[in-house]
Structure 1
Amino acid sequence: MNDAHQNDAQSDFPNISVILSTYRSDTASELAAAIDSLADQTLLPEEVLIIKDGHLTDDLKSVIAKKAEEFPTSIRTHRIEENQGLGNALRTGVVASSNDIVARMDADDISVPSRFEYQATFLRENPDVDIVGGYIEEFDSDLDEPIARREVPTDHDSIEKMARSRSPMNHATVMFDKGSVLDAGNYRAVDRMEDYDLWVRMLLNDATFANIPDVLVKARGGEGMYRRRGGLEYAREEIRTQIEFYRRGFLPLHFFLFNLVTRVTIRFLPSRVRGVIYESFARD
């Protein structure tokens, strides 16, 4: 996109803040690639807010400092002294962000160049929508060789229906109205599933959801991702989440019981088996 066209596009849309949280286990080269994908957007964010969640490695600090000098708009940082998890970092980021429209970005993903322009256009044409996401394409080591694609429902009613069994939004793709998130209580400092927890509270608060039927983010997948989604701690959080959904009136009893049996069991399966289940039922 030439500069004149990009300047015209910028003036047609509200300013966008991007929240990107990073912590010491992130890889510096992946963080650099993630930030570069934001700089390559056809609609540039007015602000990239990097949440430093706890102590960072020198390599991560170096990447952030270098990219802050190079970025075509503004990179701001906010440091949390002690790592308290992604939910807390995002909660902090939403409050600290400067604009009414906020987008999510993970420290190891790649946003496709047209992502923000697609989403901002959608929100402008659908002013009743409070949050919009899209599809994810997963890759292992080569960005150009996808290994899976996670498609999600596109209309509100289908999204709400899916939410009763699993998360209906690809978290790394979402762009939302800041006020709608705050009205639902913002992200919470829960241990995992901070996104699913927020979506249900937003649905109960009558927020309107949508997904664009196109790949907006390329995410790192593979067995490592499936390994992170298993184990006792994940199972405990699954139980806590389902109990809360039931108590809030979002899940009828039969959905609650079915989810407990199926979702908790999956957390104890071997990573490879869990991966097959995810690819069969959660992805295209």
Structure 2
Amino acid sequence: MPKSFYFIKPISLEHSFTSVVAMATYANDNPVWLEEAVNSVLAQDYRDFVFVIVIDGPIPDAIEQVLQKALLNDQRIVLAKSEGNVGLSRCMNFVMDWCLPYQPEYFFRMDADDISLPTRMSTQIAFLEQHEDVDVLGSALIEINEVGKQVGARTLPSGNAKLRRNMSTRCPINHPTVVLRFSALEQGFRYRNDLKNTQDYFLWIELMEAGFKFHNLKQPLLKFRRVNDFYKRRGITKSINEFKARIFAMRALKRMRLRYLVYACAVLVMRCLPPPMVKLAYKFDRYVLNR
């Protein structure tokens, strides 16, 4: 394990669990939204999991209070901390490596500003138990604003063949809705530590190239926080990384096509436009997806 991580509240090696939920939180998280996110995980109707929360660097007292309150109320929480802010990839990879001796079956992702619906985990696990060929499972999501009001929705293609076709033009999995079979992670697949964004897109490409099967549920199982500055936060670095991911997907999945190259270049240009135009393009993209 990286030396920069240490446990504030661990569990013993004798402990066993079927699933792990992994979340990272850092200084700029909204403590109210964080508490809603944590509570939504603890309120799941499925109970056989540990909830690993990684504190990514120094945090303010308000976030510390949310975490300490959760620790007092639920023994399934494992709290770890990074000595400095290292980013989501390193935090999630730390959790994956920590899980190896316990050999859980499922690895769930969760973000610190979203809300999992109460049946999220049980619904996804039930699907995986009935479809042993599926390794990575996402779902549709509901988009909410700062006060929790629904402002949109996002439904992505479902079957593996469709997702493979879409991988060269977009990330076809809603990252905070994902559950993976831990057997894929046991083979050494991890997020790229050098990426501060789009790390999920690259991981999905690598897993798909290796032959792992993907699926999306049409049922929304998570409320995704889409705040006012959502369209401003997709800076040039993220746009370039998305462009690189699309090129990587075309090569890795042997789907190099002129139309995909044109699309990748067009999206890169669009990302550099003023936020109102990006917002308009995003809404059009959601409309096309949901159709």
Over aligned residue pairs, what C-alpha RMSD do you find? 1.8
Local SS of the residue matching 1:121: helix
Deviation at 1:54, TM superposition (A): 1.3
Cα deviation 1:128-184 (Å, max 9, x = unaligned)? 1101110111011342x3111000111111111111110111000011112213436
- Sort the Cα spacing of 1:255 and 1:192 in 2 relative to 1 into closer, same or farther, 3 A: farther
2:196 equivalent in structure 1? 191
2:87 equivalent in structure 1? 85
Note if 1:263 corresponds to 2:267.
Answer: yes
Local SS of the residue matching 1:228: coil
For this pair of structures, how many residues does the alignment match?
Answer: 268
Deviation at 1:108, TM superposition (A): 0.4
Local SS of the residue matching 2:205: helix
How many angstroms apart in 2 are the aligned matches of 1:160 and 1:247? 12
How many angstroms apart in 2 are the aligned matches of 1:66 and 1:213? 34
1:152 equivalent in structure 2? 156
Deviation at 1:247, TM superposition (A): 4.6
For 1:107, the aligned partner's letter is: A
Cα deviation 1:48-72 (Å, max 9, x = unaligned)? 000111111121111111101112x
Taking only the aligned residue pairs, the percentage that are identical comes to 25
Deviation at 1:223, TM superposition (A): 3.1
Deviation at 1:271, TM superposition (A): 1.6
Deviation at 1:222, TM superposition (A): 3.7
How many angstroms apart in 1 are the aligned matches of 2:177 and 2:153? 13
Note if 1:177 corresponds to 2:177.
Answer: no
1:113 equivalent in structure 2? 118
Local SS of the residue matching 2:59: coil
For 1:245, the aligned partner's letter is: A
* 8 Å CA contact 1:200, 1:250 repeated in 2: no
Please point out which of 211, 215, 233 is paired with 1:210: 215
Please point out which of 42, 53, 56 is paired with 2:56: 53
Please point out which of 63, 67, 83 is paired with 1:64: 67
Please point out which of 123, 134, 138 is paired with 2:143: 138
Deviation at 1:257, TM superposition (A): 2.1
How many angstroms apart in 2 are the aligned matches of 1:183 and 1:166? 25
* 8 Å CA contact 1:238, 1:263 repeated in 2: no
Cα deviation 1:94-131 (Å, max 9, x = unaligned)? 22234231101000000001101100100111111101
* 8 Å CA contact 1:30, 1:108 repeated in 2: yes
- Which segments of 5 or more consecutive residues in structure 1 lack a partner in the other structure? 1-13
Note if 1:18 corresponds to 2:21.
Answer: yes
Deviation at 1:215, TM superposition (A): 0.7
Q: Under a length normalisation based on structure 2, what TM-score does the superposition of the two structures give?
A: 0.86
How many angstroms apart in 2 are the aligned matches of 1:226 and 1:182? 36
Local SS of the residue matching 2:232: helix
How many angstroms apart in 2 are the aligned matches of 1:275 and 1:184? 37
Local SS of the residue matching 2:78: strand
